[in-house]
Amino acid sequence: MTIKERYQAVLDHFASANPNPESELNFSNPFETLVAVMLSAQCTDKRVNQVTPALFAAYPTPEVMAAASVEDILEYVKSVSYPNSKAAHLQAMAAILVDKFNSTVPSTMDELTLLPGVGRKTANVIMGVVFGKAAIAVDTHVFRVSNRLGLANGKTPLEVEKALTRHIPEHLRYKVHHWLLLHGRYVCKSQRPDCLNCPITHLCRHFSKNDKQ
């Protein structure tokens, strides 16, 4: 199977199985999206969704969050992973939104990564989810699934992102992020991939390699 054929078969499967994938985080505007995605780093979406209703109610705008103390924000996020650093990042992020971006979430990689706590992965999520841009965010799930399936052979998230970008049409890149993430979250898990119930083992380089051993 050529790399082109592998990509086409994988994309065809996901497009048929889940034509309109969406984030499992809960949010209702760009600011809430940014906050939720920042909190989701190395944390489950389920946990973040338990935290954000009260957080969003307490800090509905960048201005309100920027005026809060890190200690006050920490009370709302203390059950997520790395709560101290995330509380500090949220407060500093909100302050920069107010001071430099007129309280508006920016839409470019360069601008987004100026915000504390926002790296390339988070910026790509925001560009795709909020602004509908052709961005592929490579988190641990996307990284793992891309390598296992044989879509990429990257040692870093950026290498995987570049490989996916080369082979995936722009109009599908936003969806591919969700497809691979959800497949990694529920099927192609890190420690125990559920190959017996995976519908695309016939396309998977990792399964094929192990099956021959």
Tokens of 132: 């509908």
pLDDT of residue 65: 98
CA distance to 39, 74, 126, per residue, from 82 (Å): 9, 10, 21
pLDDT of residue 211: 59
Q: Which residues contact 26 (CB under 8 A, 6 or more apart)?
A: 36, 49, 52, 53
For 78-131, what is each residue's pLDDT tens digit?
A: 999 999 999 999 999 999 999 999 999 999 999 999 999 999 999 999 999 999
What amino acid is encoded at 164 in this protein?
L
Q: 26 φ, ψ to 5°?
A: -100, 130
- For residue 162, pLDDT over 80 is answered with yes
Alpha-carbon distance of 162 to 152, in angstroms, equals 9
Which residues does the annotation mark as catalytic? 121, 139
Helix/strand/coil percentages in the chain, nearest 5: 65, 0, 35
For 15-25, what is each residue's pLDDT tens digit?
A: 999 999 999 99
Q: What is the pTM assigned to this prediction?
A: 0.90
